[in-house]
């Protein structure tokens, strides 16, 4: 029970950084592609490969069902994180040569490649999916490193987003407290079960 509660706390504490990373990434990527393609409404115009076009069409249908206007801004928010990370695939190598400095301006030059960005982003995506789908992550041997990579990615994209992360990120403390921090909660619950109020 203590491990279950610790896992819940760990997942919850990762949320601010997930949000910062995803929103920063999608906004910067969307803007840079628009500049490179000379088309600020490239989502509406579906200026991507067939597989990604399918995802855009689904997002448009979802917006229509919700009676939302099908505008570029609404589409940016509607597209799933998986869509944005697929744009890091090797088939978009030529595109990334034009936009990588704009998306990751603070990434060290010697590692600033699509391949490196894709590797880091997909590690974060796997962590995000596990945490958001209520899987156990407390036992991951590299959990602390995965969190550190997420913070690093945020800093590579935007120093202001990283400042927000510094002020809102509780993961290091929750992780450092370990499962022991939840054992008191379990003891309190067990005590309530054994001695229920009249």
- Residues 126-177: tens digit of each pLDDT: 999 999 999 999 999 999 999 999 999 999 999 999 999 999 999 999 999 9
Tell me which of 18-22, 85-89, 193-197 is least confident: 193-197
Q: What percent of the chain has pLDDT over 90?
A: 88
- Over residues 47-71, the mean pLDDT reads 94
* pLDDT exceeds cutoff 90 at 194: no
At 189 the pLDDT is: 87
pLDDT bucket at 192, cuts 50 / 70 / 90: confident
For the chain, how many helices (H) and strands (E)? 10, 0
Alpha carbon distance 139, 124 (integer Å): 16
- CB-CB contact of 24 with 158 (8 Å): yes
Look up the pTM and report it: 0.91
Alpha carbon distance 135, 132 (integer Å): 8
Q: What is the DSSP letter of 195?
A: S
Which residue do the tokens 């929103």 mark? Answer: 23
Closest to 132 (Cα-Cα) out of 15, 21, 23:
15
> For residue 83, what are the contacts with CB-CB under 8 A and spacing of at least 6?
52, 55, 56, 59
- pLDDT tens digits along 24-56: 999 999 999 999 999 999 999 999 999 899 999
- Over residues 67-82, the mean pLDDT reads 96
């Amino acid at each position: 029970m203590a491990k279950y509660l610790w896992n819940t706390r760990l997942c919850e504490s990762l949320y601010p950084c997930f949000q910062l990373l995803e929103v920063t990434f999608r906004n910067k990527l969307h803007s840079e592609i628009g500049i490179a393609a000379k088309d600020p409404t490239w989502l509406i115009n579906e200026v991507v490969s067939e597989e990604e076009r399918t995802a855009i069409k689904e997002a448009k249908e979802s917006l229509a069902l919700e009676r939302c206007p099908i505008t570029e801004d609404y589409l940016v928010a509607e597209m799933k994180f998986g869509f944005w990370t697929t744009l890091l695939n090797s088939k978009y190598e030529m595109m990334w040569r034009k936009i990588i400095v704009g998306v990751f301006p603070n990434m060290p030059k010697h590692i600033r490649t699509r391949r490196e960005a894709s590797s880091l982003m997909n590690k974060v995506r796997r962590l995000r999916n596990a945490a958001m789908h209520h899987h156990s992550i407390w036992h991951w041997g590299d959990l602390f490193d995965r969190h550190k990579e997420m913070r690093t990615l945020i800093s590579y994209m935007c120093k202001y987003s990283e400042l927000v992360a510094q002020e809102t990120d509780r993961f290091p403390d929750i992780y450092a407290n370990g499962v022991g921090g939840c054992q008191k909660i379990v003891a309190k619950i067990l005590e309530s079960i054994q001695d229920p109020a009249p």
